[in-house]
Structure 1
């Protein structure tokens, strides 16, 4: 290739067209606008990324400063670096010469609004190549977006729709020409420094601390957020106003409410999951309507992004539960190392799958799926603190839809009963306070989270250093909250303790200006709400309660072991009056405990002294059934199980000190139900 070809970035078959192209470029460059009328909102890579900020955005210079009279060789060379032949760029946008001869050289094919490729991107692992686009919107703002290079090989209409959603004009029917322009401009961009593509928000891979947000990367230089799929995070996770404004209008009123301050600290805690080596978890604010639950979520959202009411603003950081399970996975990935705020639990589209959704959201990893060609899709991954709200608890919602909440689910998203007195119970003018907060969340947002993340990076620099500090502080908070609890409850204590650590860190970072004792009081109040209302989270204890409920609900399905004539059509077992034992068949036990592991149920019965055994090597015991005229093995459960209060005390004592406690004998009556098993020898396991 000759020097001339390399300079103009053209191939030999274009040389004959060069005179007409130069004439065309010179004519269209006369269409310019006044630079003072153009509002510049280009994403800056200065400050947190340590990358020098250009004195003037490249796109604005290309569109506004090149004129026929005052264009300089520098400006023309700049245009040649960004705009490939045979395309042109003016204030009207991207165009291409329509004809091949001099007569038609003044005719141009308009393609899109002003648009260039600023840089090329690639992932740290050498994959996930992409383009950093700089474009002018219809309201003359300059925006930037990083897109995967694979977009150039998909449906051109999808690429055009994505740009149109961001306000960039694309001429209808010119989608393929747009793709051709970007592909040609990509060759020119190879000569410029590359950027590292970050596919998710939050902490980047590696020991060195680098925090990724849609509008900036804090820590590592020359990086950019490039999601694999288009999302709303650039609009929702943004900032407006100053940190001082946020502190005065949002944080200060929140100090007057334990719940408001608690969710505020929980929002900061999302950024501590990776440094603390913690899994994802969450809290569900459950209570009556119009008490301030959505406002609490807006307060938490304002730490990182637009805190508008989700019912009034489609750009709001707070989302609705009105999604499918797959959509929730995508939302969780978009909010990695950020809080995921979900309003209106009752709107979840597949209520029968709520238990699975709880596991999925807090599991940190999506389901394995295949593409159309049977190859594996990239698995979604995330870390997040879920902040939810609803008129009923997750446990109640699952029960209403025929599900049984497991202990693990209860500890992953913890139900917090929202006070009936509202978000500000001691404020005589609570209504005005809530209205002012809602308004403030729409104008002051995003600054606190960015300041907090920058403080973490500047203070610790590595995740190892942060882990040591968090571990020590967290241990002290655990001791303050609960000295002696069951192992399952201690998992919850750890979560509340991390919220307190986040609040204390936020004070050190200068984002919160209350005292650490106020943070501790708010966390203790939230802990008390949960602990006083929490059901048993041990699966074994839950299974024992379900067995008791099953027996009480089916008294007619347990005929006497001595009865031979007046037997019900179906039985769940038998009642042995002399020993006060309920003899359960295998099917009855499975029906009673649901999807709880039978091993956990049997262990809990044994620990509480409720399982009768007449053979040391068997969990079942053998009893004579007159109707069958033989001895048969059953799970023999003592009748004391029907005393719920006594059994709860007995179970708690047995799990804490390992001793088997014998409860007092109390009989209970229940209602007859049709749920039962057929009465025949074949339905009873025999040994």
Structure 2
């Protein structure tokens, strides 16, 4: 007989029932449940069935509390009741404790009849109940990954009998069926979060993942306090109101058949742009909801899937590898990951998502790409719209009685760390029951004069459509009672952001400005290392020289070698870029010989160099 049978009594831990609403599945009454391979092919009975007789073995039982039989005590958990017989000797009953309470309540599968799993209801070490839709594929091999996840969720598993645990999970499937969703976001009319499904019919859909953690979407504090301390201070603060409106936009993308993309808040250090991002993420979860640009492209692909149909917050673009920035912007906007091969060499299913991005940084997308010698194409720039956040007090206009911008930022950060997650869920509760045609509603916002630029080109129209959707999201949140803003305030904030984007972008398609910015970035990065004074009598050796500089009465000019100028303008058509620089007065017009270079004497010899007016690069 197993030596695990005799257990000393211990003090019970108070339990709280935390079982997700699933049709036909209920929490145990506390006694036990049973299932045998021969006689029970449905959901384990929620009743005290007692201990199995000899003829009922082998079988499984799950006890939610301590049990006593024949003077022996059985600890809560999954028990295997078996028999052992040698020769003609009477059979011996073997009673083996396998794990703490784990019930198999339903079979899960996606809408296509694949990705099968088991809906588990577990009792944690602290006595709390929780559910997890376990992918059945985790039972392959040794099952170490599966046991690791369950151990992390608070399940206790006998090291001696851990292989029996996998056998228990593969007993005949219960009759109850539940639809599983493999990603956060819309599943029909239901919005699926890692720990909850919201909307009509939510009880029949559950999130299924190989990871049991749901910390990104946790809740804290109260909705009322969040409205008073995070949302209300956005009144008269367009940048904070914009960020919060962006946070509510993600769930509307699918309803309006809109493309993904985002807004990039650009400003100097300590202006408050990160505070705006913290406020936005508090709509959906705690501090760990926010991501950073430092993550690799592969990591961002996984993050985008986790925040599908929702908000993805990326802080500080300068932390990203400049070589990856453009690709990441494309990936996030297109909603498509990389094509990868499986272990057998066949193509895996490509990850897809829809997400709205709120990004921050001291540099624009284009400037970040310039550091890697890349040029931001129009398709990349319009996926992440640069919005400058320099206001009266950093990113703020109205301090609501606080002493300065830093104090206001600190107050918002503190409030967002205490109250989070409730506003997003309440928004979904209202949105999933709102019968209006959201595509038609968006058309109304897009037709407003604020979002209908005269003579706007394709990029302007795409940007206007995104800001119109952000405005609609903010107005919906206000209508649902989640902001304490006045009607029209969110529209005004989004319209102001659109204006700021257009001003920062400049006229035309922005390429002329990008050429000057790239040239300025090259000088800023290499001015001291690859240039020196052309008037110096003894020029020190310069590695990979790009040119010289010359101080004159009206400022400094940079004299580029042909190779240096080509490197600085890498990514642009060289002749077209020179034409643009000439048109903007950065380099002189071509001489009588048709060339833009001028002869300069260097160490006693004449050298053709491109003169660049340094004053034209200031402020870029």
Q: TM-score, normalised by structure 2?
A: 0.74
Gaps of 5+ in 2: 34-44, 66-75, 527-562, 603-607, 609-620
Equivalent residue in structure 2 for 1:403, among 360, 368, 374: 374
| 2:198 corresponds to 1:217 | yes
Please give the alpha-carbon distance, in whole angstroms, between the structure 1 residues aligned to 2:134 and 2:262.
Answer: 31
Post-superposition offset of 1:99: 6.1
Equivalent residue in structure 2 for 1:324, among 281, 289, 296: 296
Q: 1:95 to 1:489 in 2, by over 3 A?
A: same
Aligned match of 1:445: 420
- 1:596-611 → structure 2 map (5 Å cutoff): none
Equivalent residue in structure 2 for 1:88, among 61, 65, 79: 61
Please say if residues 512 and 580 of structure 2, whose CA atoms lie closer than 8 Å, have aligned partners that are also in contact.
Answer: no
Aligned match of 1:285: 265
Deviations 1:548-591 (A, max 9, x none): 999x99xxxxxxxxxxxxxxxxxxxxxxxxxxxxxxxxx99997
Please give the alpha-carbon distance, in whole angstroms, between the structure 2 residues aligned to 1:672 and 1:448.
Answer: 68
Please say if residues 407 and 537 of structure 1, whose CA atoms lie closer than 8 Å, have aligned partners that are also in contact.
Answer: no
Aligned match of 1:254: 234
| 2:217 corresponds to 1:237 | yes
| 2:395 corresponds to 1:414 | no
Please say if residues 365 and 386 of structure 2, whose CA atoms lie closer than 8 Å, have aligned partners that are also in contact.
Answer: yes
Q: What SS does the aligned partner of 1:171 have? A: coil
Post-superposition offset of 1:333: 0.7
Count of residues paired in the alignment: 535
Please say if residues 474 and 501 of structure 1, whose CA atoms lie closer than 8 Å, have aligned partners that are also in contact.
Answer: no
Aligned match of 1:8: none
Aligned match of 1:339: 311
Equivalent residue in structure 2 for 1:138, among 112, 120, 125: 125
Equivalent residue in structure 2 for 1:641, among 583, 587, 592: 583
Q: What SS does the aligned partner of 1:176 have? A: helix
Please say if residues 369 and 379 of structure 1, whose CA atoms lie closer than 8 Å, have aligned partners that are also in contact.
Answer: yes
Q: 1:260 to 1:84 in 2, by over 3 A?
A: farther
Q: 1:178 to 1:53 in 2, by over 3 A?
A: closer
Aligned match of 1:126: 113
Larger strand proportion of the pair: 2
Q: What SS does the aligned partner of 1:392 have? A: coil
| 2:505 corresponds to 1:534 | yes
What CA RMSD, in Å, does the superposition of the two structures yield over aligned residues? 4.4
Please give the alpha-carbon distance, in whole angstroms, between the structure 2 residues aligned to 1:79 and 1:321.
Answer: 57
| 2:429 corresponds to 1:429 | no
Please give the alpha-carbon distance, in whole angstroms, between the structure 1 residues aligned to 2:147 and 2:139.
Answer: 11
Gaps of 5+ in 1: 1-19, 46-50, 64-72, 309-315, 554-586, 611-636, 648-664, 674-678, 680-687
Post-superposition offset of 1:337: 0.7
Equivalent residue in structure 2 for 1:268, among 232, 243, 248: 248
Query: Could you tell which deviates more after superposition, 418-427 or 118-127?
Result: 418-427
Please say if residues 57 and 81 of structure 2, whose CA atoms lie closer than 8 Å, have aligned partners that are also in contact.
Answer: no
| 2:282 corresponds to 1:296 | no
Q: 1:103 to 1:142 in 2, by over 3 A?
A: farther
Post-superposition offset of 1:466: 2.2
Q: 1:400 to 1:188 in 2, by over 3 A?
A: closer
| 2:366 corresponds to 1:389 | no
Aligned match of 2:17: 40
Please give the alpha-carbon distance, in whole angstroms, between the structure 2 residues aligned to 1:670 and 1:43.
Answer: 78
Please give the alpha-carbon distance, in whole angstroms, between the structure 2 residues aligned to 1:444 and 1:321.
Answer: 25
Post-superposition offset of 1:303: 1.3
Post-superposition offset of 1:365: 0.8
Equivalent residue in structure 2 for 1:196, among 179, 183, 186: 179
Post-superposition offset of 1:230: 2.4
Please say if residues 217 and 223 of structure 1, whose CA atoms lie closer than 8 Å, have aligned partners that are also in contact.
Answer: no
